A and B are shown apart, each in its own frame.
Chain A
Amino acid sequence: MAATKRALGLLLLVLLSGPAWAEDSKSVMLKWSQLTEDQRKVLSPLSKEWDTLRPWQREKMLDIARDYPKMNAKQQARVQQRLNDWSRMTPFERENARKKYQQFQSLPPEKQEELRKKWREYQSLPEAQREGLRREQPDLYDANELDN
């Protein structure tokens, strides 16, 4: 009787952990050394930190490698240059950027160009001035709301 119970328990264990193992066999928990040569080439800026990435982060990065061949040389160069910073952002920052990128894309071309121009102007400001601008923004959520 006890044996049957235990057997059932084991079965349950297998059932529940099944997806995780299957996932390993798919791609999500792939170690750096297990990536294909093409994937490694695209993701090379991440070689050192790859094995520390969370499963879903790896998934997203592999998606980048998948879409990479569809892009032109200029875009590819930008991807390479930005991958590192991208992987070090918090999940929230990344989601925030994704959302705003979608909004950006929904703008008419001339507005997009206007924003790009503004960004270039902003980039040309001295760092001290940019820092000043960053501090000027009002807090939307004041500390009281959190700590009372």
Chain B
Amino acid sequence: MNQQESTVKLVVQALDASVENLDDDVIRRLATARERAVSAMQPQWQAAGHAGVFHSLGNYVLHHRLMTSAALLLGALALGFIVTQHVIGQHQLEQGDAFLLGSELPPEAYLDKGFDTWLQQNAR
């Protein structure tokens, strides 16, 4: 193995290891983002899939039965989701935007580059 290959190998191993060490919070937020993205895909997919499923099936009994089990499933999922959201929500209680907005220093103060320069020039 030449030096380049071994460099690549070592770097990739380190990068893989860094992914193993991710915060639980980050992992959870990534999963939530993924679910949102997947559901954002639905409309087109649904529009295309919907007509196909029911028109070609032409079977309203099956349709009905499917919808009932779907509704049940959905109920269970909704419950699970609400519980999860509740737990996540409680985690975020402390760092609210409300307190940032309510503090004396306005949000612009943190973002104004001119203020940075001003601070720098007037530091001690």
Contacts and interface: CB of A to CB of B under 8 A. Distances in A.
B81 A23 contact: yes
Interface in B74-124: 74, 77-78, 81-82, 85, 92, 95-119, 121-122
A91 interface: no
A133 interface: yes
Interface in A67-122: 67-68, 70-71, 74-76, 78-79, 82-83, 85-86, 89, 93-94, 96-98, 100-102, 104, 115-116, 118-119, 121-122
Contact of B38 (A16, A26, A131): A16
Contacts of A66: 96, 98
Contacts of B66: 7, 10-11
> SS class of chain A's interface: helix, strand, loop or mixed?
helix
Contact of B111 (A7, A82, A97, A132): A97
A35 to B, nearest CB: 16
Contacts of A134: 112-114, 117
A78 B113 contact: no
Contacts of B14: none
A117 to B, nearest CB: 10
A18 B53 contact: no
A86 B99 CA distance: 13
A64 B98 contact: yes
Interface string B29-59: 0000001101110100110010011001101
A99 to B, nearest CB: 8
B39 to A, nearest CB: 3
Nearest to B92: A63
Contact of A133 (B56, B97, B117): B117
B103 A101 contact: yes
Nearest to A76: B102
B45 A19 contact: no
Given A130-B114, A131-B114, A18 B74 contact: yes
A136 B117 contact: yes
Q: Which 7 A-B pairs have the closest CB atoms?
A: A75-B102, A20-B39, A133-B114, A22-B78, A134-B114, A67-B98, A18-B77
